[in-house]
Chains A and B, each alone.
Chain A
């Protein structure tokens, strides 16, 4: 019969808390780098120069066509073969950021394209420069349009951090599965693990909803 030993979880609370912290840290840093990288990649995808567009497109397709686990292994275990020696957590964040950049980039690109062309004509004719149009007209609108997508990708990246446990990054899954293996209390540890991710996903999506509401005020018809 399955029992739930809450005391066991309480005993390991400091370890679990530190694992939780590392999970959040990895997610935040990876999301941040991935978004910046994704914006650059998106501009590459929309470039008129084939010499730029094709390699960037290939990058995106390869990232999206291969499992994250393989990308991580290639970077962490394969890295030293090409002179890249990374700590587990460095490799983990780097791999996550590259992975995320491809997905964010597609979102950004779609967002850019969703802005009516007439608005850009109006900006051009009034004399705004290419950069001003991107920064002042396109990015603010695109951001609101794609917030639901950004939240989705961020939640997915947050969940992918669990995979970092496989290369011994001491994040939440690593800590709890480790406790499980030591004490055979898998029911307790894995339940806590699952619930933690549910909470994280819920928080991320709440945060996204809140941001969207704040930023999209201009779309409401009445004051």
Chain B
């Protein structure tokens, strides 16, 4: 029989795990957005080496499972003399992985804008930076918000893998609780529910942001 009575005393520990998961996710997403924007600029630049490099970057981080990336950074970075603690390593790893996806999302956004818009902006005398800042970026943000929100949800889910390199976030906490209480079903179900609530929150928040952005422009 299922028995959820052991859940109550475990709540404080679970809460700590949730906090760690949220912290990890927010830091990694911020990093991913920054690097993703930079990478996207390089990806769309006129320089061939830059374009090829960013393409390789994106292929690597999208083609290799995050678990393997985590293992690589955890075991191999020390081999070349980089000894960062596990937590920053994990954040950077997830952030880099996410940046590859964000690069492609933003690229899609920029490329979906009709070239005519840019031409008309050039003809009225806007410079390159002005075109990006005032004509393209506002539209790209509006177009890519749904995909970026989705990426945030993927990132929260991916953060569960960080448990394998020993960081005590929601999944790791749950593993410990499940083992010590001999109640894997109850605890994993609870963890699933918590992740679901976290992601639903992001999803609702995303819809709200989307609506606010769209309400301010006539589409």
Check A-B contact in the complex, CB < 8 A: yes
A-side residues, CB < 8 A to B, are: 2, 61-62, 64-71, 73-74, 77-82, 155, 159-160, 162-163, 165-166, 173, 177, 180, 186-187, 190-191, 193-194, 197-198, 201-202
How far is the CB of A149 from the nearest CB of chain B, in Å? 13
Name the residue on B nearest A164 (C-beta): B67
Assess whether B164 is interfacial by the CB under 8 Å rule.
yes
- 5 residue pairs bridging A and B, Cβ less than 8 Å apart: A65-B196, A69-B160, A173-B67, A186-B79, A194-B60
Q: Quick one: CB contact mask for B64-80 with A, threshold 8 Å, 1 for yes?
A: 11111101100110011
B-side residues, CB < 8 A to A, are: 2, 59-60, 62-69, 71-72, 75-76, 79-80, 153, 156-161, 163-164, 171, 174-175, 178, 183-186, 188-189, 191-192, 195-196, 199-200, 203
Give the residues in chain B near A190, CB-CB below 8 Å: 68, 71-72, 75-76
CA–CA, A165 and B68, complex, Å: 11
Main SS at interface, chain A:
helix
* A201, B63: Cβ atoms closer than 8 Å: yes
How far is the CB of B86 from the nearest CB of chain A, in Å? 15
Give the residues in chain A near B63, CB-CB below 8 Å: 155, 159, 197-198, 201-202
Given the interface pairs A66-B157, A70-B192, A77-B184, the reply to whether A163 lies near B65 with Cβ below 8 Å is yes
Name the residue on A nearest B69 (C-beta): A194
How far is the CB of A114 from the nearest CB of chain B, in Å? 17
